[in-house]
Chain A
Amino acid sequence: MAKQLIKGNTAVAEAALRAGLEGYFGYPITPQTELLEHLSARMPELGRPFVQAESELGAINMVYGAACTGKRVMTSSSSPGVSLMMEGLSYIAGTEVPMVLVDVVRGGPGLGNIAPAQGDYNQIVHGGGHGDYHMIVLAPASVQEAVDLTALAFDLAEKYRTITCIMMDGSIGQMMEPAELPPMQPLRTEIPDWAVRGAKNGDKRVLTSINLDPPAQEVMNLRLMKRWQEIEANEVRYKGYFLEDAEYVVVGFGTAGRIALSAVRAAREEGIKIGLLRPITVAPFPIDVLDELTEKVKAFLVVEMNAGQMFEDVRLVVRGRKPVEFFGRMGGVVPFPDEVLTEIHRLVGTPQTTEGSPRDRWLARLAETIG
Chain B
Amino acid sequence: MTEMICAGFGGQGVLTAGMLLIHAGMKQGNNVIFYPSYGSEMRGGTANCAIKISEKKIASPVIRQADIVFTMNAPAIDKFESILKPGGLLLVNSSLVDENRTYRDDIRVIKAPVTDIAGELGNPRGANIAMIGVLAASTDLFDPEFLLAQINDYFEAKGKKVPANEACFRKGMETAQ
> Chain A interface (Cβ within 8 Å of chain B)?
3, 5, 30-31, 114, 170-171, 174-178, 255, 258-259, 261-262, 265, 334-338
Contacts and interface: CB of A to CB of B under 8 A. Distances in A.
A114 B39 contact: yes
A114 to B, nearest CB: 4
Contact of B32 (A178, A259, A337): A178
Contacts of A261: 59-60
> For chain B, what secondary structure do more than half of its interface residues adopt (helix, strand, loop), or is it mixed?
mixed
A339 to B, nearest CB: 9
B102 interface: no
A261 B62 CA distance: 12
B109 to A, nearest CB: 25
Contact of B22 (A170, A176, A338): A176
Interface residues of B, number: 18
Given A171-B35, A259-B62, A336-B64, 10 more contacts: A5-B22, A5-B34, A114-B39, A171-B62, A174-B36, A176-B33, A178-B26, A255-B61, A262-B60, A338-B64
6 contacts: A30-B38, A171-B62, A176-B33, A176-B34, A258-B59, A334-B62
B23 interface: yes
Contacts of A262: 59-60
Contacts of A177: 32-34
B19 interface: yes
Contacts of A337: 59-60, 62, 64
Contacts of B64: 336-338
B38 A3 contact: no
Given A177-B32, A336-B64, A338-B64, A5 B59 contact: no
B62 A114 contact: no
A5 B39 contact: no
B26 A5 contact: yes
A171 B61 contact: yes
A3 B36 contact: no
B40 interface: yes
The 9 A-B pairs of least Cβ separation, nearest first, read A262-B60, A262-B59, A176-B34, A261-B59, A114-B39, A259-B60, A175-B35, A336-B64, A30-B39
Nearest to A340: B60
- The interface centre, meaning the residue of B19, B22, B32, B39 with most chain A CB atoms within 10 A of its CB, is B39
Contacts of A174: 35-36, 38
A259 B35 CA distance: 14
Interface in B1-49: 19, 22-23, 26, 31-36, 38-40
A114 B38 contact: yes
A47 to B, nearest CB: 25
B60 A336 contact: yes
B5 to A, nearest CB: 14
Given A31-B39, A114-B40, A175 B61 contact: yes
Nearest to A173: B38
A343 to B, nearest CB: 14
Nearest to B34: A176
A175 B31 CA distance: 14
Contact of A265 (B31, B39, B59): B59
B38 A31 contact: yes
Contacts of B34: 5, 175-177
A3 B26 CA distance: 9
Contacts of B59: 258-259, 261-262, 265, 337
Contacts of B40: 114
B61 A258 contact: yes
A114 B41 CA distance: 12
A3 B22 CA distance: 13
A178 B64 CA distance: 22
Nearest to A264: B59
B38 A258 contact: no
